[in-house]
Amino acid sequence: MVLHDPVALSRLAFRPTITTLVELWMEKAFDVEDGTLFDIAGVKSRVKTKQALKQIGKWQVARALPALLRLRRQGKVVHQTVGNGAGASGSTRQAIQYHYDVSNDFYRLFLDQRMLYSCAYFDGWHDDIDKAQRDKLDMICRKLRLQPGERMLDIGSGWGALLIHAVSHYGVVGHGVTLSQAQFDLSRERIAEAGLSDRITIELKPFQDLSGSFDKISSIGMFEHVGFAHHDEYFAAVHRLLEPGGLYLHHAITRPAKKTVRQFHRKSAEYKALTQFIFPGGELDYIGHSLQKLEAFRFEVHDVEGWREHYARTLRLWANRLHDKFDAAIGMIGEPRARLWLAYLVGCAISFERGDALIQQTLASRKVKGPSKLPPTRRDLYS
């Protein structure tokens, strides 16, 4: 690691938080040479932050103090955010567009050819990202037991890849909803290019405003934006939209549960930084609470599958691809934001590898009396 700005250590001494560290990285106060961010982030320090700060000589702080005070007076800002951190803005259009409307071309730099921005499924552990994302799409469709002619809703449909796959290979009629203008525009273009405009429709609206009824519903990497205050509203909407006995696939990142709810809702410094810089309004549930809500809103839970290692590998591949095309990323979104995104992908990969972040796919159905209509075994999924 190379230090470019001597004021950096003093800024850390005055405000020893991960937010300061992220800001310094974005400002290029320090950099990595002869390696990548994974080489730094992957090593868990044995020295606590306070202990490390004590090792900063007082003369270093004093020497940098005039420059530090000058920066504080100037209010140096390299990155604007939306909202006030976790849960501040719920699933609002402003928060969603802040993250997803960065640039379609920027996302193309590191995502697969279908532009899937969610955890891939590695049927072969050394598969490339394109095959792993295709296998993910197929696994979702198989879990939903899609049949020709069924009506499928994808809540948070992104750039349309899941619906295009489901309609092309399983013969369903698809409908998607997103709050991102960039995703809405490009998904409609891609659907038209695939010749599926008569079988897939996309709307730019919040899930609360959806109407109609569907045989199958998917939600892939969208629930993280809903926020705890809107969980009841969300599950009530899914129940209202789903036909009795219909299947719902809930794919979401979670955090490990704590001994008490109060402890769970205490946000770590890393979590606060994530919602400040990357996901304004985002909140991660714990799987037990999600299952409780599903049952409370009259769903029957059938399967829960953890994909933590799959997401760790997905994120590593994304980060490496962005690193390889970093100059292009800088040209599209500027160096501070490009550095932020690289740090975000690396940090998330490490979090999933360590088990600090989790992800599950949960299959549930709108509860009915009698048989669930699912096969008695899961051989159809994994054979």
Measured distance CA(176)–CA(216) in Å, rounded: 12
What type of residue sits at position 163? L
Give the containing element (helix H, strand E) for 240: helix 231-241
Backbone φ and ψ for 375, nearest 5 degrees, come out as -60, 150
What is the biggest distance separating any 2 CA atoms in the chain, rounded to whole angstroms? 76
Kindly report the length of the chain. 383
Which of 159, 188, 192, 154 is closest to 174 using CA atoms? 154
> Are the beta carbons of 30 and 4 closer than 8 angstroms?
yes
Cα end-to-end span (Å), the chain: 47
Cα–Cα distance measured from residue 140 to residue 17, given in angstroms and rounded to the nearest whole number: 39
Q: Rounded distance, CA 264 to CA 256, Å?
A: 8
Exposure of 44 by Cβ count < 10 A (0-12 exposed, 13-18 middle, 19+ buried)?
A: exposed
Helical (H) or strand (E) element with 66: helix 58-74
Task: Provide the CA 320 distance to its chain's centre, in angstroms.
Answer: 17
> SS in 3 state form for 300-319?
EEEEEEECHHHHHHHHHHHH
Catalytic positions are 348
